[in-house]
Amino acid sequence: MTPAGTHLVIGSGASGAMVAWTLACRGDQQVTVLDLGSRLDASRAAALARMGSRDEASWDPSDLQLVTARSAGGGRAVPQKRVYGSDHPFRDLGQVTGIRGGRPDTNTDAVSSAYGGFTNLWGAQAMPFSPGTFRDWPVSWAEMEPHYRATLEQVPLAAEVDDLAGSFPLLAPRSALPPLGARTEAVLQRYAEHRTALRRRGVTVGRARLAFRANDCTRCGLCMTGCPHGLVYSASQTMDQVRRLPNVRYVGGVLVEEVGQDDQGAVARFRELATGARHELRADRVFVGAGAMGTTRLVLGSLPEPPASVRMAESLQFVVPFLSRRGVADPRRPGARDFTLNQFNVLLSFDEDDVDTAHVHGYPYNPTFLDALPGPLRSPALSGLTTEVLRRLTVGFGYLPSWASPGIRVTARRGAGGLPELDLTPEDAGMRPAMLAPVLRRLARIAPALDLWPVLTHVAVSGAGKSYHFGSTFPHQRAGGRGGTDRWGRLPEWDRVHLVDGSVLPTLASTTFTLTVMANATRIATEVLDGRATTTSTASAGSAR
């Protein structure tokens, strides 16, 4: 076992929160968390508090309007999401200043400033990678499984046993999902009727797996704008528990600009947002969980001899609308009580191990559908037609694996001080990835069985970085490998600095991303505490500039 130690954790998002929790639960370890830590504004927080103390029937309409405001926009592009009507997870506190995209649709809002990071507004999908995915990792499924389970001690999981469990095991005690919408029930019923033929085609349909306290769900329909009861998991919930422990110090309102180590140990240098004053803290180790883009930027600005550029992998996102011949009740009808998170999944597998897959999350309805309808269908004059469309519409958010998706070239330029500027250049030059065509063909072929007909003329491929399933800039390598980190997230230059977020995942499966990020971060911290990640003299002393 590692003796008593001191640790710096950078970030309070999915990876940072799990590392801080894992370290701090051993009471002889001292943990300091450095975080930007932006929060929901006071007016919206007060509105939420009022709503939480009242029955839904007595909610003040002005409070409801305030916390359900959506970003402006429409059409095929996925708009920037809001949580409780706020854009605070994207608020630039210096973490995205100087990041530029190579094309107009490149997402540069790829580093969160929020307490809890992007888990404040994620879709809550929580599936592991398939065991077969780990065949290309230096860490096996058997080694990862206990850390998935440890993560799910923190993350509430609503899920049910179905065909997806064959390749994506259910790993923890769970609650059932709330009652599903009529469209979802119809899809699941038709899948059951045609199951044998669909499985032969490499198609598996199952219920969503969601990180929320489903047993307490009132089905108020506000999931996608922010659950007013706080039932959807956020890393802020774990971080709140961490901060109550006596061996933890939380330092918010700071931007870490450099990490490294010297003969005195590991170091992080940071700037106070309020005053601009710069400070440094030292510890036995630093764990960097600033999100894949934030960590990549920090590392490129901290290495004494950084590479000219690095490749960031992404699990490409595409959006496909489906129409059904058989309509269901108007989802906007008075008294409709559906939850609006992802309700079902369609997995398209192109191999026997469910590694080369495409994964489509099915959303039968949420209010943002109205924003994306063609202009005429948003006109009151065509309200009847709009109703008929909504009775038949399902929106699928699909993902391809990173090895079948274009990457992003990340080039850093150092300035006079602070974080380097970044140029993000998509590799695809606007071309659709080759795997997308067979995915869409298969969706079209199974449409009669599921009564889900893809509207192929309206499939939209999201811009680079828009999936938020990106990383692999410093991937774990097998012993003796080059160009990445060891299994504990350490670059060759450092043996006391650990990268713990998506930046170190060797590959990104098409299935959900965040649970694996959290489990891998938990694994790294656990193995460090167990004494497996020893420090050596091979790392470059003096690399903390």
512, 127 contact by CB (below 8 A):
yes
Give CA torsion, residues 375, 326, 318, 429, to 10 deg: -70
Q: Counting Cβ atoms within 10 Å, is residue 237 exposed (0-12), middle (13-18) or buried (19+)?
A: middle
Residue 444 C-alpha from the chain's centroid: 28
In sequence order, what E strands does 138-290 have? 203-207, 248-251, 254-262, 265-272, 278-283, 285-288
- The 10 Å CB-count burial string (b at 16+, else e) for 193-202 is ebeeebeeeb
CA distances from 67 to 229, 365, 501 (A): 12, 19, 30
Hey, what domains does the chain have and what are their CATH numbers? 5-529 (3.50.50.60)
Determine the Cα–Cα distance for residues 429 and 334; give it in Å rounded to an integer.
Answer: 47
H/E element, 20? helix 14-24
A 10 A CB-CB count for 240 gives 15
Residue 250, phi then psi, degrees to nearest 5: -110, 130
512 pLDDT above the threshold of 60: yes
pLDDT for the residue numbered 376: 80
In the chain, the amino acid numbered 260 is G
182 pLDDT above the threshold of 60: yes
315, 402 contact by CB (below 8 A):
yes
* Tokens linked to 532: 């497996």
What is the mean predicted confidence (pLDDT) over 468-479? 94
Alpha-helical runs (H) found in 393-435: none
Query: Which value, in Å, is the radius of gyration of the alpha carbons in the chain?
Result: 23
pLDDT one-digit tens code per residue, 7-32: 999 999 999 999 999 999 999 999 99
Nearest to 446 by CA among 360, 352, 373: 360
Determine the Cα–Cα distance for residues 100 and 32; give it in Å rounded to an integer.
Answer: 31
pLDDT one-digit tens code per residue, 310-334: 999 999 999 999 999 999 999 888 8
Determine the Cα–Cα distance for residues 366 and 499; give it in Å rounded to an integer.
Answer: 36
What is the mean predicted confidence (pLDDT) over 92-98? 96
pLDDT for the residue numbered 538: 42
pLDDT one-digit tens code per residue, 397-424: 999 999 999 999 999 998 767 899 999 9
Determine the Cα–Cα distance for residues 461 and 467; give it in Å rounded to an integer.
Answer: 10
Q: pLDDT tier at 537 (50, 70, 90 boundaries)? A: very low
Determine the Cα–Cα distance for residues 505 and 315; give it in Å rounded to an integer.
Answer: 12
233 pLDDT above the threshold of 70: yes
222 pLDDT above the threshold of 60: yes
Q: Which residue has the higher pLDDT, 357 or 353?
A: 357
Determine the Cα–Cα distance for residues 213 and 44; give it in Å rounded to an integer.
Answer: 22
Give the percent of the chain with pLDDT over 90: 82
Q: Which residue has the higher pLDDT, 77 or 444?
A: 444
pLDDT for the residue numbered 250: 98
176, 135 contact by CB (below 8 A):
no
Determine the Cα–Cα distance for residues 29 and 159; give it in Å rounded to an integer.
Answer: 35
What is the mean predicted confidence (pLDDT) over 60-66? 95
In the chain, the amino acid numbered 28 is D
Residue with tokens 């206990």: 146
pLDDT one-digit tens code per residue, 79-93: 788 999 999 999 999
Residue 132 C-alpha from the chain's centroid: 21
411, 337 contact by CB (below 8 A):
no
3-state DSSP percent of the chain in helix, strand and coil, to 5? 30, 20, 50
